[in-house]
């Protein structure tokens, strides 16, 4: 039974394309002093409300059509724009990527994702 479960589980994983969670542009400092020194503030974030260093990006919120235009490397759009072409998004505001959004690449909004 265990072998059957393992085989079915392995086949199921092979049928789905893996989706990587977005990674922050840089590793955030873990102490309040180092966070502050990097221009951030310790905040409770995400569904679990874990204490993390949130560092804003200088161009956060600026209009973009691709992540290459942003300090963070990430251009984000609204969930409603998912799958659309000719989309203008906004540069990621901080190193925290919680919420629901699409990633805009070359003016096209990819599938929506929610990260909590």
Q: Report yes or no on 5 lying in a domain.
A: no
Give yes or no: residues 76 and 45 share one domain. Answer: no
Q: pLDDT tens digits for 20-58?
A: 444 444 567 888 999 999 999 999 999 999 999 999 999
Give yes or no: residues 72 and 97 share one domain. Answer: yes
pTM for this prediction: 0.71
Give yes or no: residues 64 and 91 share one domain. Answer: yes
Work out the widest C-alpha separation in the chain, in whole angstroms. 55
Q: Report yes or no on 103 lying in a domain.
A: yes
**Overall number of domains in the chain:** 2
- H/E stretch holding 95: none
Give yes or no: residues 70 and 115 share one domain. Answer: yes
Q: pLDDT tens digits for 69-112?
A: 999 999 999 999 999 999 999 999 999 989 999 999 999 999 99
- Hey, how many other C-beta atoms are within 10 angstroms of the C-beta on 10? 10
Which domain does 71 fall in, by range? 57-116
Give yes or no: residues 114 and 97 share one domain. Answer: yes
């Amino acid at each position: 039974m265990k072998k059957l479960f393992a085989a079915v589980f392995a086949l199921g994983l092979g049928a789905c394309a893996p989706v990587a969670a977005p990674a922050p542009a840089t590793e955030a400092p873990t102490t309040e002093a180092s966070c502050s020194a990097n221009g951030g503030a310790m905040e409770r974030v995400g569904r679990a409300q874990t204490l993390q260093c949130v560092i804003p990006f200088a161009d956060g919120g600026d209009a973009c059509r691709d992540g290459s235009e942003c300090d963070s490397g990430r251009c984000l759009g609204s969930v409603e724009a998912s799958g659309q072409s000719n989309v203008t998004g906004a540069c990621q505001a901080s190193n925290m990527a919680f919420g629901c959004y699409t990633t805009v690449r070359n003016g096209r909004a990819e599938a929506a994702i929610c990260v909590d």
